[in-house]
Amino acid sequence: MMEIKGTTKITGVFGYPVKHSLSPVFQNSAFEYLGLDYVYIPFEVKPEDLKIATKSIKIFNMVGVNVTIPHKKEIIKYIDQLDEASEILEVVNTILNIEGKLKGYTTDGDGFLKSLKEEGNFDPKNKNIFILGAGGTSYAICGALIKGKVNYIFISNRTYENALKLKKHLNKRLNFKNVEIIPFEKRNEISIWKNIDILINTTSVGMKKNDPLLIERENIEKVKFVYDIVYNRKTELLKVAEEFKIQHLDGLSMLIYQGAISFEIWTRKKAPIEIMKKSLYDKIKKDG
Ligand code: ATR
């Protein structure tokens, strides 16, 4: 157990709810492992209190915080500057307090990319992507993949208009034209599957036990890599990937890597990824 002292530097997460957050587990083990005088605390912040909570980062002279659901967009109003990804995506998941000025970052996309390259040992350069979903996570992941120089992105989303918004965003803001929308009803029928390298699920489908498999087995079989951002259970999608011996990663990997980038922003030290991973897996095993 770490010792909290007068000098201890405070980090944490603002969320609502925040009780189930796994970040305190691996952030605190990382601090402890490196002997850093830091602590990571969950803060349950109601939406109506977000402004004053954000101000308290300065008042309490905290190092910074993570920001999670439902505050990722709203908090932008209350901070002083944004990094490039946050500005483009209009979301913030990490704040750094730089001598009383709050700077916002978004580490989800970079965390995704880094996990794919380092843990998955897979370089998305020149690859074709099929992505399910067009919510905030999909924006972050598409942005990172474009940074990673992918060839083509196919987007399929339950609500067509949301896919269209994402496509326009990638066309205009990121100047990336190789984007095509696959109507959700047609996702399994199209002939592109033989050309898809990476299949990514960014939807919440798979979190619940009886959730359907959105992509048919014979299509999954054709891809080279499967990434499912769901992390609370082994999804049907991941089970199929495993069965076909397709390389795959789950949301825990993205969770660790996005957290590792936040850790590095706050401490300027290299995050001990393996320690973070181990503490997280131990915790999950313990809780069943
Ligand atoms: P996040 O910011 O974590 O990505 P979000 O913005 O709520 O979360 O996005 C959730 C994504 O999952 C959306 O693409 C959503 O599709 P819609 O745009 O149609 O809402 C998708 N999604 C959620 N439940 C789904 C379901 N049962 N079937 C298919 N897609 C689903």
Output the pLDDT for position 257.
98
Write the CB contacts of 237 (distance below 8 Å, at least 6 apart in sequence).
199, 201, 206, 213, 214, 215, 220, 226, 228
Size (the chain), residues: 288
pLDDT above 80 for 39: yes
Output the pLDDT for position 89.
87
If one compares 190 and 202, the residue with the highest pLDDT of the two is: 202
pLDDT above 80 for 288: no
pLDDT above 70 for 1: no
**pTM for this predicted structure:** 0.94
The residue to mutate among 89, 112, 158, having the most atoms of ligand 1 within 8 angstroms of its beta carbon, is 158
Question: Ligand 1: distance of its center to the CA of 219 in Å?
Answer: 21
d(CA 100, CA 78): 13
Q: Are β-strands 81-82 and 94-98 bridged in parallel, bridged antiparallel, or unpaired? A: unpaired
Q: What is the pLDDT of residues 171-197, one digit of tens each?
A: 999 999 999 999 999 999 989 999 999
Q: What is the pLDDT of residues 234-265, one digit of tens each?
A: 999 999 999 999 999 999 999 999 999 999 99
Q: What is the pLDDT of residues 133-170, one digit of tens each?
A: 999 899 999 999 999 999 999 999 999 999 999 999 99
Q: Which residue has the least CA distance to atom 3 on ligand 1?
A: 137
- Residues flanking ligand 1, CB < 6 Å: 133-138, 157-159, 162, 202-205
